[in-house]
Amino acid sequence: MRKTLYIIGLSTLVFSCTSQKNIKKTTYRPKTVTSQPKSVTKTDSVEKPKPKITNEHGVEFFTTNIADATKNDNTISYGSIVSAKPAGYKVVKTHFPAIAQNFRQKYLILHYTVLPDDKSVEVLTQQSVSAHYLVNNLGDNEIYQLVDENKRSYHAGVSAWRSDKNLNDTSIGIEIVNMGYTADATGAKIFQPFSDEQIKKVAALAKDIVTRYQIPATNVLAHSDIAPTRKQDPGPLFPWKKLYDEYQIGMWYDEAAKQTLLTTAQTDISTRYNEPAFIFLAQTALQKFGYDIQPSGKWDDVTKKTIEALQYHFRPQNYDGIMDAETWAILQALNQKYSK
């Protein structure tokens, strides 16, 4: 009996030890598997070589874009690189620049000064209003820079376009010497023309700016576009279509699209003009295009001034602030073309 119990006990011990060895083998294998990806992660994290920073007389520049230009990202520094100088520490550019960045300059806004040349310079340099550039009316080849492009100038004021507000933060402003308008006996605005020399300057300057900062056509705007209840500049005599046709600057509608929409627009204006539903539709179309307007279903003063701003830019032959058939067709054609 004792021998039997001894044999049974010995068998149990052997079986138990054998089972433990098997368990150890099973739990050990994953350690080899889990350790492999660590070396792969280290290899992938190696930073790619970047173009060198240029140093000229102790001033640093970076003139190569390593970011994704298709996403409007750009690492180029058009001026010198500005860096902190913390006391007791050294700021190094071992990993400069990060690819996730783009320009502050998203908009180009055009203005007129309502002042002659000398007074325009004085006001824009000595008072609490400014612009990055001033285009004179002296017939020369000079364009005055008044503010560093990397800094905010005080040109836009209370302003909005699409989802953006306070466009001083994100824009470059160009002021053009021009006396603006006078009102005749009926109150109609009579605007002053721009000289050919001024328009050539503006076109060359604007082309340079929109190219460097990749500013889209939808963001090249009049002051009246971003502040329609307050401003009229640069007015209906500024040749937006010429800039679009000859220099590929800014927006313009497609004539064929406008003509296609004109018949329906004429029906809308003749049969639905005073219906709240149609007024709301027109206001929503203005808002969709970019104007800062809240649909109300009424032809109120804000709506009139917003339509007037649209006409200054895209229908300069008639800027009475009334939504006629041609203005309605133009607005719809613009939304078709620039809805994104």
Catalytic residues: 175
For 314-330, the DSSP string reads H-TT--SS---HHHHHH
Quickly list H helices, the chain.
Answer: 2-44, 117-126, 196-212, 223-226, 240-247, 255-272, 276-289, 301-314, 325-338
Count Cα neighbours of 326 within 13 Å in the Cβ-side half-sphere.
10
In the structure encoding, which two tokens stand for residue 332, read together?
A: 């719809």
Whether the bond into 234 is cis, omega within 30 of 0: yes
Edge-first strand listing for the sheet containing 144-145:
144-145, 133-135, 171-176, 107-112, 220-222
In the structure encoding, which two tokens stand for residue 177, read together?
A: 């010497």
3-class state of residue 11 by DSSP: helix
Sorted by sequence, the CB contacts under 8 Å of residue 254 that are 6+ apart come out as 333, 336, 337
CA 155 to chain centre: 17
Phi and psi angles of residue 27, each rounded to the nearest 5 degrees, phi first: -80, -15
In the structure encoding, which two tokens stand for residue 97, read together?
A: 């620049």
In the structure encoding, which two tokens stand for residue 304, read together?
A: 């009139």
Distance CA 144, CA 152 (A): 16
Sorted by sequence, the CB contacts under 8 Å of residue 205 that are 6+ apart come out as 133, 135, 143, 174
Q: Whose structure tokens read 């929409």?
A: 261
CA 286 to chain centre: 19
Phi and psi angles of residue 269, each rounded to the nearest 5 degrees, phi first: -70, -40
